[in-house]
Amino acid sequence: MNFIAALKHRWQQADSLVCVGLDPEPSKFPARFAGDEDAVFHFCRDIVDATAEQVCCFKPQIAHFAALGAESALTRLVAHIHAHHPGIPVILDSKRGDIGSTARHYADEAFVRHDADAVTVNPYLGRDSVQPFLDHADKGVVVLCRTSNPGAGDLQDLMVEGRPLYQHVAETVARDWNGNGNCALVVGATWPGQLREVRAIVGDAIPFLVPGVGAQGGDAAAVVTNARNAEGSGLIVSSSRAVLYASSSDDYAEAAAKAARDLRETLNAHRR
């Protein structure tokens, strides 16, 4: 099953638009992990197992693993998800974008080394920098469009031929880059008006990965109201810190499950 098909299946099977972001920060782990040489894997595995029932996908952030020298933990975590929670796709959040020869290696990093089902990419070097990812027709390519960070507008809102640049990105992906039907767009929860505009540009078929709900202040109800497709889905609403660190005590897994379940219920209340 390719990424888009697996995602659609999870939207229906789990009745969920929730994506749990896996951004390990050992300083925030419960005290029980002190002295555990494999704490990154063990903590993330526990969060995955506790929240799997509530999610449409998981999204590990590669920098959080790489900075800790924990790439092996990342590879084992993705393998754990595939083995123990089959059918739940994994998006590797790496925001890659480079010239073609380097991009091919980045694609292999995501899809071969880590066996991710999708990867986030930066479109600003143009089509050739994204093509090696697009060529993996069974994998998802999640293109940055209108991001959730405060400085997003510095470049993404620049007017080009009468429209902001992010709208050109959305149109280009939908019209020219999605030949394999494997593209999605990153559109931040902190900009509900832009979510609505981008949905109008690309139509119902392209999913949105929506970061920024929870710790970044994005409103879950506004996300769904402005960006759901005609079927009441089309969204991958990501929450990381609010789920991962819902508790710093021994009930961390149970607290994470509750946070994911609460978000799922909030989103579902506005889907139809």
**Which residues are catalytically annotated?**
95
What is the CB neighbour count within 10 angstroms for residue 108?
Answer: 13
Q: What is the DSSP letter of 51?
A: H
Inter-residue contact 7 to 236 (CB < 8 Å): yes
Which residue, 75, 144, 87, 141, is CA-closest to 112?
A: 75
Amino acid in position 227 = A
3-state secondary structure 82-141: HHHCCCCCEEEEEEECCCHHHHHHHHHHHHHHCCCCEEEECCCCCHHHHHHHHCCCCCEE
Q: How far is residue 111's CA from residue 251's CA, in Å, rounded to a whole number? A: 34
